[in-house]
Amino acid sequence: MILRKTLSSLVLMLLYGCHLHMAKTVMNGGDLEAALPEPRAYIPDSQNLDFVYHDHEELTRFLRATSARYPNLTALYSIGKSTQGRDLWVMVVSSSPYEHMVGKPDVKYVGNIHGNEPVGREMLLHLIQYFVSSYTTDQYVKWLLDNTRIHILPTMNPDGYAVSKEGTCDGGQGRYNARGFDLNRNFPDYFKQNNKRGQPETDAVKDWISKIQFVLSGSLHGGALVASYPYDNTPNSRLLKGICRSSALCAMFQTYSAAPSLTPDDDVFKHLSLVYARNHAKMSRGVACKSATPAFENGITNGAAWYPLTGGMQDYNYVWYGCMEITLEISCCKYPPAYELKKYWEDNQLSLIKFLAEAHRGVQGFVFDPAGMPIERASLKVKGRDVGFQTTKYGEFWRILLPGYYKVEVFAEGYAPREVEFVIVEQHPTLLNVTLQPSKYFAATVTSKSTSSHTISSTTPRGPRGQVNDNVQFPTN
Ligand SMILES: [Zn+2]
């Protein structure tokens, strides 16, 4: 009972009561990363975590023991319960596990959304173990945990897992939740009406991601070897289903419906997928799992180009919250025998770590009012990329972008909209602070043709080799 109370107050603290640690300057992570050695190979410590499958009790015990042993690096909370009442545990791993670090991104991994695809579930337990045990000895891990808050949900479908069978490479037993719903078809959809009744597991995740602004996310699956990126759905398939009567038309439909459904951030999604695939031991080779299954060039694919689906989690993360989520299919066999788990860890370790570091690429900053107070829920949209995102209650925003010139439009109720130009370089994130003027003031100054009413500063932090970049003032057009 006491434990439950402590946990629920912990959840409240994590979700609502984060103290404002106003960063004097936003820490620059990217340039540090460039100078760091690669993460070390992890030597598994079987005293703490064996390469076997852990049932829900064992998983819970491991997470509790780890959070007790590493209280300064971890925080354990539950985002809710599965249909059958199992806790959906999330472990935060960070040098600031209990508080959001203002100016630093929150990222996440979700495992085992399909109950019979548990390799990801075990990989995430090993990732937790790797992070906590190498924080003091591995510079890369220290940098990552000092600059990122990593939330790990090892199993989103513990009920499905409970009825799955080790050694079963295909099939659907355990894929669904206890009520028979496919959780990766259970989210609101951007293209189609999704009439599936919301499930407890999906509702818990929806609630979770509405409260924490995640910048980057990976969802782990099995049954293929590929990194798949949004969109998973397409506006075309339903229309064409209606004409799928003759075999010739059906063939055409299949070709057409398997056409890519690309987001305006396609370059970024491809890049993120390639980071995972190229750091993986095998994925980027693009070898088909079986002769009857597709081979993926460079080990990546657009979701809809593989097969379209409605109600998937990655499209929801991206469209609703601007969180860049991709789907990581990490084992040809959905539920391979336990003796193969060590090999899977070796194949995925570097990918799992390097992917998270991508949260430090692109633009990040704050939206302020003229008094320097943060503006919450300001809307931002990078020009040409019509999927927007919003500031947090501390006025923070992040967007992963590849090197180039960009314009961002910033809107907030009661303020005059702004358009700001900025540059992204490869070596480090661009820091961009935008000050919005109240709309009344804006109207007055426009009439008087004043040009001095908007303060916009775009600054980049120290460069990769320690040089200080000049603050750059961009025109305010
Ligand atoms: Zn799956």
Give the tokens for residue 340.
């193969």
For the chain, give the mean pLDDT. Answer: 85
Could you give the percent of the chain with pLDDT greater than 90? 75
Give the tokens for residue 348.
């995925």
Which has the minimum average pLDDT: 22-26, 152-156, 331-335, 355-359?
A: 22-26
For 160, residues 6+ apart whose C-beta sits below 8 A from its C-beta are 112, 114, 115, 116, 174, 175, 176, 177, 178
How far is the C-alpha of 208 from the C-alpha of 339, rounded, in Å?
34
Average pLDDT over residues 337-364: 97
Q: What is the pLDDT of residues 426-458, one digit of tens each?
A: 999 999 999 999 997 555 444 433 333 333 333
Query: What is the strand order of the sheet 404-411 is part of?
Result: 389-390, 379-382, 404-411, 418-424
How far is the C-alpha of 101 from the C-alpha of 22, rounded, in Å?
8
Give the tokens for residue 48.
């703490």
- Between the CA of 305 and the centroid of ligand 1 the distance, in Å, is 16
Give the tokens for residue 133.
């045990």
Give the tokens for residue 293.
């299954």
Cβ atoms of 27 and 103 closer than 8 Å: yes
Task: Tally the residues of the chain.
Answer: 477
- Between the CA of 223 and the centroid of ligand 1 the distance, in Å, is 7
How far is the C-alpha of 465 from the C-alpha of 74, rounded, in Å?
32
Three-state SS for 405?
strand
Active site residue 329: yes
Cβ atoms of 454 and 476 closer than 8 Å: yes
- Between the CA of 219 and the centroid of ligand 1 the distance, in Å, is 9
- Between the CA of 475 and the centroid of ligand 1 the distance, in Å, is 48
pLDDT surpasses 60 at 477: no
Give the tokens for residue 399.
């967007």
pLDDT surpasses 80 at 321: yes
DSSP labels, 215-272: EEEEEEE-SEEEEEES-S--SSHHHHHTTTTSHHHHHHHHHHHTS----TTHHHHHHH
pLDDT surpasses 90 at 333: yes
Three-state SS for 381?
strand
- Of 190, 191, 173, which Cα lies nearest the Cα of 182? 173
- Between the CA of 114 and the centroid of ligand 1 the distance, in Å, is 5
Q: What is the pLDDT of residues 398-432, one digit of tens each?
A: 999 999 999 999 999 999 999 999 999 999 999 99
- Between the CA of 48 and the centroid of ligand 1 the distance, in Å, is 28
Q: What is the pLDDT of residues 252-297, one digit of tens each?
A: 455 445 789 999 999 999 999 999 999 999 999 999 999 888 999 9
pLDDT of residue 309: 95
Hey, how many other C-beta atoms are within 10 angstroms of the C-beta on 385? 19
Average pLDDT over residues 214-220: 98
Please, is 82 exposed, middle or buried when counting C-beta atoms within 10 Å of its C-beta (0-12, 13-18, 19+)? buried
- Of 419, 244, 230, which Cα lies nearest the Cα of 321? 230
For 303, residues 6+ apart whose C-beta sits below 8 A from its C-beta are 228, 229, 230, 231, 232, 233, 261, 309, 312, 314, 315, 327
Cβ atoms of 243 and 309 closer than 8 Å: no
pLDDT of residue 449: 38
Could you give the percent of the chain with pLDDT greater than 70? 79
217-96-357 Cα angle (round to 5): 35
pLDDT of residue 11: 44
pTM: 0.84
Hey, how many other C-beta atoms are within 10 angstroms of the C-beta on 426? 10
Pairing of strands 379-382, 324-331: unpaired
Given the residues 122, 325, 329, 358, select the one marked as catalytic.
329
Give the tokens for residue 117.
């695809």
- Between the CA of 264 and the centroid of ligand 1 the distance, in Å, is 25
- Between the CA of 309 and the centroid of ligand 1 the distance, in Å, is 12
pLDDT of residue 48: 75
Residue ranges of domains in the chain, CATH in brackets: 31-233+264-360 (3.40.630.10), 363-459 (2.60.40.1120)
- Between the CA of 354 and the centroid of ligand 1 the distance, in Å, is 22
